[in-house]
């Protein structure tokens, strides 16, 4: 099932990239494997999935320690400072940095294991009260500059979640704001490489709006119990 699902998803992403005038090689699928047992992750890996995303710190730690596969792990959930110790060693990329305090803690932990940790800043692109992330452009620029002053953090881009709605106009606005922020960051002399946005229900719109990292769970693993 996973092999078939992944092939269908890859074809869909490829087709949408071509339709949007994008290079398919510029878009990476991250399989969000939260709650999935390692046997399922191994099946996905053997089906060609290389990048996996977890949103619970201890779950990432445990799966990383269990794995002997060459998996690229991403931490995609909300991260508390007291859980940083679990995610820095396994994570290729942490998607959800939203404060100076959190950046400081990641830098400190990365320094202790002699690692430079790649990170994204989480943006609350429509200002929803129920969502984490930075809302203010000035705060975003301030945090980017702070991250760039640290020795063991590397700012790589921005992440957002679209609102829970079927209204494509609202979803597109959220993703377009992130793309506009990327342009603003780059024109300010910083380097914003990645936009992490788009999940199973809205990844096609995210591709249209410039996503480079798609966080896909259901389309690969099926509905969770």
Could you give the CA distance from residue 106 to residue 117 in angstroms, rounded to a whole number? 8
pLDDT for 225 equals: 63
Task: Give per-residue pLDDT as tens, 109-152.
Answer: 999 999 999 999 999 987 666 677 888 899 999 999 999 999 99
Query: What's this model's pTM, rounded to 2 decimal places?
Result: 0.96
Task: Give per-residue pLDDT as tens, 182-207.
Answer: 999 999 999 999 999 999 999 999 99
Which CATH number belongs to the domain containing residue 22 in this structure? 3.20.20.10
Task: Give per-residue pLDDT as tens, 27-54.
Answer: 999 999 999 999 999 999 999 999 999 9
Tally of domains within the chain: 1
pLDDT for 74 equals: 98
Q: Which domain holds residue 159?
A: 2-221
Q: Given a cut of 80, is residue 170 above it in pLDDT?
A: yes
> Cβ(132)–Cβ(178) under 8 Å?
no
Q: Indicate the average pLDDT of the chain.
A: 95
Could you give the CA distance from residue 97 to residue 175 in angstroms, rounded to a whole number? 18
């Amino acid at each position: 099932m996973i092999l078939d699902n992944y092939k269908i998803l890859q074809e869909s992403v490829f087709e949408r990239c071509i339709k949007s005038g994008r290079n398919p090689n510029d878009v990476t699928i991250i399989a969000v494997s939260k709650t999935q047992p390692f046997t399922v992750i191994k099946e996905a890996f053997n089906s060609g999935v290389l990048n996996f995303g977890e949103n619970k710190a201890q779950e990432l730690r445990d799966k990383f320690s269990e794995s002997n596969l060459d998996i690229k792990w991403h931490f995609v959930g909300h991260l508390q400072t007291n859980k940083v110790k679990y995610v820095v060693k396994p994570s290729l990329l942490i998607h959800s940095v939203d404060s100076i305090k959190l950046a400081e803690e990641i830098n400190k932990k990365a320094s202790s294991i002699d690692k430079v940790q790649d990170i994204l800043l989480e943006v609350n692109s429509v200002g929803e009260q129920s969502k984490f992330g930075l809302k203010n452009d000035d705060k975003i620029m301030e945090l980017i500059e702070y991250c760039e002053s640290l020795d063991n953090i590397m700012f790589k881009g921005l992440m957002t979640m679209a609102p829970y709605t079927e209204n494509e106009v609202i979803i597109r606005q959220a993703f377009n704001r992130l793309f506009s922020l990327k342009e603003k960051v780059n024109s300010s002399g910083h380097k914003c490489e990645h936009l992490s946005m788009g999940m199973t229900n809205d990844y096609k719109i995210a591709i249209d709006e410039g996503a480079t990292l798609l966080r896909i769970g259901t389309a690969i693993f099926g509905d969770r119990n």
